[in-house]
Structure 1
Amino acid sequence: MKEPGRKEEANLPPCPNPNCAGSHVVRNGSHRGRQRYHCRTCKTSFGETQGRPMDALKTPAKEVAQALLIVMRGGSLRAAEEITGHKYETISVWLKRAATHAEALRQVLARDLHLSQVEIDEFWSFVHKKRGQLVSLTRQNAGDAWSKTGTVASSWPAPVAR
């Protein structure tokens, strides 16, 4: 039973500090319309999206997800630019950020698209440069990033990177 005069704090995120063993997180106002939190154990202040793939973006997550889905389904950056209205350079930056958090992005897309029976198919997502534009001065691993995505067996075909 809750104490009188205190609101029940439900669904608060855990403290992002890996050295903090406490879980006493409280709301701490908002900044630019986004909820802020404070851990009373380690005195860390953090936002609700800290440590997530699209942390600190000014563009709404729904628009970012739409642009990334266009590219992941085989569309070009230019096609995503025309459909979403965001510059292809910006979409490329989002794609690079998403590639660093590929597993977390897969979980978000699976949850947000309400996929029921998910078949996970691994594919290579070309992130840094197109293969035809690679030069000899580029790092050995530039160009490729490992990523995963999921689709419902009865819906659209699985995306394949070329």
Structure 2
Amino acid sequence: MRSDAQQNRERVLAAARAEFTAHGAGASLNKVAQRAGVGAGTLYRHFPSAQALLVAIIAEDVAALCAHGRGLLGDPDPVRAVHTWLRAVAVHATAMRGLVATESLAGAGSTLADCHDEISAVGAALLDRAGSPDRVDDVLTVVNAIAWASERAPGEPGRLDRLLGLVTRGLRLG
């Protein structure tokens, strides 16, 4: 991809993230193009639909989350690495909840399933390294529930970390 095309794609993704965060499923693709400083044709060349745009945002965020997790595999303290990564997963879940909840992702199954598989693989590697026999899917389900519960209590800024501490202690890591 040419550098100017790559820059346009990145601007569109940043603008779309802001629009979808602000307006959810009702975000206007025309406003995304305006915010990105590109024409509608450029937006549709890169992303032929709102669904394609949402999937690209999610895939980009999952790639960053998983890269962070793979980096934590080198942390000398595997228990701290698990806790750090699970916190990042919870923050990601909170940020993505509004995007994934849109009805326009109904046909994005395989791409979103690939994202889930990637998160699960990184989580399993971190949990294995920390000596936890627990199933990664169960842990990720609990972390998503913690993220949701923390969102519901904005007046308790330490709630996320307190709940994650319960999980990591409950895993009997180490």
TM category (shorter chain) comes to 0.3 to 0.5
Q: In proportion to residue count, which structure has more strand?
A: 1
With the length of structure 2 as denominator, give the TM-score of the two structures: 0.31
Larger radius of gyration: 1
With the length of structure 1 as denominator, give the TM-score of the two structures: 0.33
